[in-house]
Structure 1
Amino acid sequence: MEFVIGTFLLIIIMVTIGFLMKRKKYQVVDQLDKRKIEIMNRPVADELKKVKKLNMTGQTEELFERWRQTWDEIITTELPAIDEKLIDAESCIDKYRFRKAQEIMRQIEESLDSAEEKIDNLLQELNELVGSEEKNRRDMEEIKEKYRSARKRLLAHRHTYGKTAPILEIKLDSLSSQFDQFEELTAEGNYLEARELVLNLKEEMADLLHKMERIPVLIPECTSLLPSQLDELEEGYKEMEKQGYILNHLQLDKEIARIRKELDLYKDLIAKTEVQEVEDSLNETRENIDLLYELLEKEVKAKHDIIQNNNQTFELLQKLKKNNRKLKEETQLVQESYHLVDEQIDVPKKLDKELSLLEKRYEIVSSKIFAKQSAYSLLNDDLMEIRKSIESLQEEQERFAEFLGNLRKDELAARDKLEELRRMIHESHRKVAKSNVPGLPDSYKSLMEDASERINEVIQCLQMKPLNMNQVQDKLELAVEAVEVLNQKTDELIEQVFLAEKVIQYGNRYRSQYPNVREKLIEAEKAFRNYEFSEALEQAAAAVEKVDPQFLKKLSDLLNMDGKD
């Protein structure tokens, strides 16, 4: 019984799977059939009718026939064959021959892809042909209008084109002959060939118009404007030589001759209407001519600068020498009062040597200026280098003079600081005396002695002749540190004495009740009498805190009350 039920269930499962697979395959067949119908409905016939409106001769007729045959073959042969395969596929599906059906559907899909590709290519070629006819007609009107405008311009302004006029006429005639060729190709239905011709015509017309635009500008520039600038340069060059300018280093005559040859070459190229090559090179020629002008102007400016700067440079050198003599004298005077190291003493000597070399350089340049045998621009560059060196020496002089001047300022500042340190020590003594400290610990006495000793060392340094300010500064730093430590420890000492007294007084309330507290307070009092205030405060606070945990807060409140009082 179980075997029968299992077999029955297996049959039901197999039937269900088969049904589902058939339905899935039928759906694929339906999709393929839908694609076939879409291909049949493509508007190929309507597009082919557009071609019939054109001249059905030559290339157009050949293309039309090929496209029509392709479409007929698809409609009458390929699509019916696909129909038959669709029927075969459905038959295989009905018989559960799914593998065979899958293979047939793959063949159908390939056939549909092939048909679609043929139609796409057909329509693309067809649209290109139809579009070419429309574009050709529109572009040719534009080309002919430009041609007529160019012809009128050449007739009206023939004199501005010089030797290029006959060549431009030949080019225009060549374009005109291609117009006839275009008409022939169009009449013969060769629209695609006509399209290629139109594109070439557009390019040639654009090139010709560019040449006609630029030639009237380039001819006067190469034959008149630039040559006249060269003449002007040559004339100016010769005039400057007469005035005593040394210009050999510029080799201006050779450069002018080279540019003239370039201009002759440009004129030949323009005569051949090779405009682009001339335009590419002419910018560099203009820049070269501008550079020649700049070089001559530089010489003129250099001469003007030399006239202005030569005397100024001489005066600056004399002033520099005078300042250095003063610096030597000041250094000697400062040496009597202040100690200077060898490097500092040698600064004026070093400046003297540099100044001597600079003076020799100036004499050489100055002699060349008066001899008028060197280019002004080169001499002016040398003069400017000397000026820079003079400025550098001036800055070094000023820095050293400032250093010497600062020595006296540093001495006065050190003496003022010393007086301030003395006042600080006096203030520390006054604080201790006012606070009724019973006695001073040895450690505090040592600090007082150290601070006084450091101050005495500074005083001794300041009394030395010559005065060594580096040593003074070093000793002063040690004195400042010692006095600041003393000030800090003075405040700490006064605070410890005050707190120790307060804590012992507060702890006395527990002396009779707690023997341990009494013993600790006795030790604290002993330390206090021995001026060990820190130890006294520590022992008294430890004793009280054991019996009164709130002692620190109460002490703080007590101190606040005393502070207010």
Structure 2
Amino acid sequence: MGSIMLVVLIGIVIIAIVVYIGILAYQQRIRRQVATLAEKKASLLKIPLADELHLVGQLSLTGQSLEQFEALQSDYDEITKHRLPRIDEQLTELRNASRGMNLLQLRQDLAKAALLVDQTDELVQTVQSKLAELQEIDKQHRQAVHDLEQKYQELRKTLLAKNFAFGPSIDGLEEQLSHLEDNFDTFTQLTQEGDHERASDVLSQLKEDTSALENLLTAIPPLYKDLTAIYPDQLKELQSGYQQLKAQDFQFSDHDIPGSIQEVTDQVKDNVATLAALRPDDAKIINERIATRIDALYAVMQKEIDAKGPVEKNLDGVAKFIAHAQNQNHTLLNELDRLSQNYTLDHQELETARELNEQLRNIDGVYQRDVQDLTGKSATYSVVLGHQEQQQKDLHQIEEQQAQILKSVAGLADEERQARETLRQFDFKLHSLRRQIENLNLPGVPQSYLDYFFVVRDEVEQLATDMDQPQIDMERITKQLLIIQTDLDTLEEKTNDLMDSAELAEQLIQYANRYQTSHEDVAAASQQAAELFEKQHEYGQALETIATVLDKVEPGSYKRLEDAYYERKGRQKPAERDAAETTKKK
């Protein structure tokens, strides 16, 4: 029991020692923080606020600047008479209290002292900064007084030395400069009095107005030079040039050049007044319009000067071109009239040629009027040149149309001769095919073949009728020739097929006689083939009937006989011929 009490007592002693050591450490920490605050307070004392206040106080401030300075003095008094002493008191109390045991109160007092030091430091920094601003503003304003004074002297010298470059604008410019100088005097007085707040407002307006005046001095001279030297000289040159050209009988159509020159002259005078009112931006826009109008007047006169030479040079050429085109059209009309007696002209060739003739009359009419105007010295060369250029273009186009018409009708007679020769060949071919069929002495001809033959014959007869008309439509004739040629080729194939089928059928029927007694099917097929041949005149069916049965009795007999037949005729088999034509088309 006694040992336990001893352990407890030892524990209590140890705890007490630890707590005591902790308190001592905390007190030491507080003393260090108090020392830090004391150092910060000492650094505030090193800032020469008193000297800076003294310097600013010598600036003879007035107005808002003086009020601001007085407020700063009040802040300085607050710092030196109240805050710094209070800081000293609090720091002394903290040093004494740091030996005590009331740690919570000690911590609160330290926080209050730290806050007071920080606020005082901030106030010192603010006062110092604003004192520096007042000194800098005073310095800037005094420098501005010096700079502006020199600038206004230079502007005044410029106006005096170069007043000729500003013309009537000089009065307004001098008035603006005088107004600037009055404001400058106000600014100088405010600066000298130390009322820098009001001086700053005046300085801002001074800088803006001075910049505007400098811009005017830069902008006005070139504009005034254009209005008083460049444009008047150009207008005089235009007037002189116009009179010279009129003396040489130049015309300008609906362009009233004297009136335009007077309008521009008045515009120049009006714009001088705009410049005198110190409105260079407006004057610049009007100057650009004046320059554009002057350039346009030069262009109008130059256009006529440039047109005169080509007009005179083109006169003879255009006349010959018109005459040539008229003669050619006359020849064309005569040729078309002659051809129209014998041929149908399907593409309005005659009507087109008459329209071309009317165009030529109009072109010649314009040309003759231009010649009269040139002779009477009332022509506008550029207008005449425009006519000539259009006339040459139209005449070239007319010649091309004339050539196309001639080309389209030039071969009508040759086409007719060729068509008649082709018709004769068609007729000869029909008779030849008919004789070939008749020479076979067949018992009859299939009706389908006869129908096709008569269709082709009627086509040839119609062609002959059309060719015998007083007025031939060669376009229609050409289409008929193509159709008949195709139909005649088909008829020739049908004729060859008919002849081949008949001759081969007759040969195979005779060849089959050797098997009639020994083969009943051959006998029956021969009788059927003979019926188809003699009575029905279906030679192809007769050939197929007898060929089928022979190939059964004697395989390859039909091909052998067929090959021998076509070899003797010197022609291809229909199947081989069709295959060759198909390959050729591909």
Query: In structure 2, what is the equivalent of residue 270 of structure 1?
Result: 275
Unaligned runs of 5+ in 2: 1-52, 73-129, 506-519, 547-574, 580-586
Check 1:143–1:480 CA distance in 2 against 1; reply closer, same or farther (3 A cut): farther
Query: In structure 2, what is the equivalent of residue 450 of structure 1?
Result: 455
Query: In structure 2, what is the equivalent of residue 283 of structure 1?
Result: 288
Give the aligned residue type for 1:266. Answer: N
Residues 1:469 and 2:469 aligned together: no
**Aligned-residue offset at 1:279:** 0.9
Give the aligned residue type for 2:279. Answer: E
SS in 2 for 1:245: coil
Question: Which of 478, 483, 489 is the equivalent residue of 1:478?
Answer: 483
Query: In structure 1, what is the equivalent of residue 313 of structure 2?
Result: 308
**Aligned-residue offset at 1:394:** 3.4
Question: Which of 237, 260, 263 is the equivalent residue of 1:258?
Answer: 263
Trace 1:366-377 onto structure 2 (pairs within 5 A). Answer: 366-377=371-382
Q: What does the per-residue CA deviation read over 1:62-109, in whole Å, with 9 as the maximum and x for residues that have no partner?
A: xx99xxxxxxxxxxxxxxxxxxxxxxxxxxxxxxxxxxxxxxxxxxxx
SS in 2 for 1:331: helix
Give the aligned residue type for 1:447. Answer: Y
**Aligned-residue offset at 1:224:** 0.6
Check 1:474–1:225 CA distance in 2 against 1; reply closer, same or farther (3 A cut): same
Trace 1:111-130 onto structure 2 (pairs within 5 A). Answer: none
Give the aligned residue type for 2:318. Answer: T
Following the alignment from structure 1 to structure 2, what is the Cα–Cα distance between the partners of residues 323 and 164?
Answer: 73
Check 1:174–1:522 CA distance in 2 against 1; reply closer, same or farther (3 A cut): farther
Residues 1:295 and 2:288 aligned together: no
Query: In structure 2, what is the equivalent of residue 503 of structure 1?
Result: none
Check 1:148–1:454 CA distance in 2 against 1; reply closer, same or farther (3 A cut): farther
**Aligned-residue offset at 1:237:** 0.6
SS in 2 for 1:273: coil
Give the aligned residue type for 1:472. Answer: I
Residues 1:404 and 2:409 aligned together: yes
Query: In structure 2, what is the equivalent of residue 331 of structure 1?
Result: 336
**Aligned-residue offset at 1:210:** 3.7
Following the alignment from structure 2 to structure 1, what is the Cα–Cα distance between the partners of residues 525 and 185?
Answer: 134
Following the alignment from structure 1 to structure 2, what is the Cα–Cα distance between the partners of residues 488 and 153?
Answer: 115
8 A Cα contact 1:339 1:469, kept in partner: yes
Query: In structure 2, what is the equivalent of residue 70 of structure 1?
Result: none
Query: In structure 2, what is the equivalent of residue 245 of structure 1?
Result: 250
**Aligned-residue offset at 1:311:** 1.9
Give the aligned residue type for 2:323. Answer: Q
SS in 1 for 2:324: helix
Report how many aligned residue pairs link the two structures: 407
Check 1:248–1:355 CA distance in 2 against 1; reply closer, same or farther (3 A cut): closer
Q: What do you get for the CA RMSD once the two structures are aligned? A: 6.1
Q: What does the per-residue CA deviation read over 1:266-303, in whole Å, with 9 as the maximum and x for residues that have no partner?
A: 22222332101111111111111111111112222332
Give the aligned residue type for 1:258. Answer: E
Query: In structure 2, what is the equivalent of residue 394 of structure 1?
Result: 399
Following the alignment from structure 1 to structure 2, what is the Cα–Cα distance between the partners of residues 406 and 195?
Answer: 101
Residues 1:211 and 2:211 aligned together: no
Trace 1:356-367 onto structure 2 (pairs within 5 A). Answer: 356=361, 358-367=363-372
Following the alignment from structure 1 to structure 2, what is the Cα–Cα distance between the partners of residues 527 and 283?
Answer: 107
Following the alignment from structure 1 to structure 2, what is the Cα–Cα distance between the partners of residues 230 and 464?
Answer: 79
Unaligned runs of 5+ in 1: 1-52, 66-129, 501-514, 541-558
Check 1:483–1:177 CA distance in 2 against 1; reply closer, same or farther (3 A cut): farther
8 A Cα contact 2:446 2:537, kept in partner: yes
Check 1:148–1:438 CA distance in 2 against 1; reply closer, same or farther (3 A cut): farther
Query: In structure 1, what is the equivalent of residue 228 of structure 2?
Result: 223
Following the alignment from structure 2 to structure 1, what is the Cα–Cα distance between the partners of residues 177 and 428?
Answer: 109
SS in 1 for 2:278: coil
Q: What does the per-residue CA deviation read over 1:95-154, in whole Å, with 9 as the maximum and x for residues that have no partner?
A: xxxxxxxxxxxxxxxxxxxxxxxxxxxxxxxxxxx9xx99x99x9999998997797577
**Aligned-residue offset at 1:347:** 5.8
Query: In structure 2, what is the equivalent of residue 234 of structure 1?
Result: 239
Check 1:203–1:455 CA distance in 2 against 1; reply closer, same or farther (3 A cut): farther
Trace 1:86-105 onto structure 2 (pairs within 5 A). Answer: none
Check 1:150–1:215 CA distance in 2 against 1; reply closer, same or farther (3 A cut): farther
Following the alignment from structure 1 to structure 2, what is the Cα–Cα distance between the partners of residues 226 and 473?
Answer: 76
Q: Choose 1 or 2 for highest CA Rg.
A: 2
Give the aligned residue type for 1:403. Answer: S
8 A Cα contact 1:151 1:172, kept in partner: no
**Aligned-residue offset at 1:463:** 5.8
Check 1:221–1:414 CA distance in 2 against 1; reply closer, same or farther (3 A cut): farther
Give the aligned residue type for 2:327. Answer: K
Following the alignment from structure 1 to structure 2, what is the Cα–Cα distance between the partners of residues 495 and 212?
Answer: 116
Check 1:204–1:339 CA distance in 2 against 1; reply closer, same or farther (3 A cut): same
Following the alignment from structure 1 to structure 2, what is the Cα–Cα distance between the partners of residues 194 and 533?
Answer: 130
8 A Cα contact 1:150 1:209, kept in partner: no
Trace 1:523-534 onto structure 2 (pairs within 5 A). Answer: 530=536, 532=538
Check 1:313–1:527 CA distance in 2 against 1; reply closer, same or farther (3 A cut): same
Check 1:522–1:211 CA distance in 2 against 1; reply closer, same or farther (3 A cut): farther
8 A Cα contact 2:64 2:197, kept in partner: yes
Following the alignment from structure 2 to structure 1, what is the Cα–Cα distance between the partners of residues 531 and 202?
Answer: 124
8 A Cα contact 1:461 1:471, kept in partner: no
Following the alignment from structure 2 to structure 1, what is the Cα–Cα distance between the partners of residues 158 and 421?
Answer: 98
Q: Percent identity?
A: 19
8 A Cα contact 2:216 2:280, kept in partner: yes
Give the aligned residue type for 2:374. Answer: I
Give the aligned residue type for 2:259. Answer: K
Normalised by the length of structure 2, the TM-score is 0.52
Query: In structure 1, what is the equivalent of residue 556 of structure 2?
Result: none
Trace 1:72-151 onto structure 2 (pairs within 5 A). Answer: none
**Aligned-residue offset at 1:181:** 7.0
Following the alignment from structure 1 to structure 2, what is the Cα–Cα distance between the partners of residues 464 and 205?
Answer: 104
Following the alignment from structure 1 to structure 2, what is the Cα–Cα distance between the partners of residues 180 and 424?
Answer: 127
**Aligned-residue offset at 1:250:** 2.6
Give the aligned residue type for 1:211. Answer: L
Trace 1:401-550 onto structure 2 (pairs within 5 A). Answer: 401-408=406-413, 410-411=415-416, 414=419, 441-459=446-464, 461-462=466-467, 467-480=472-485, 482-483=487-488, 486=491, 530=536, 532=538
Query: In structure 2, what is the equivalent of residue 32 of structure 1?
Result: none
Check 1:229–1:342 CA distance in 2 against 1; reply closer, same or farther (3 A cut): closer
8 A Cα contact 1:324 1:348, kept in partner: yes
8 A Cα contact 1:303 1:377, kept in partner: yes
Which segment is superposed worse, 215-224 or 394-403? 394-403
Q: What does the per-residue CA deviation read over 1:4-25, in whole Å, with 9 as the maximum and x for residues that have no partner?
A: xxxxxxxxxxxxxxxxxxxxxx
Give the aligned residue type for 1:473. Answer: T
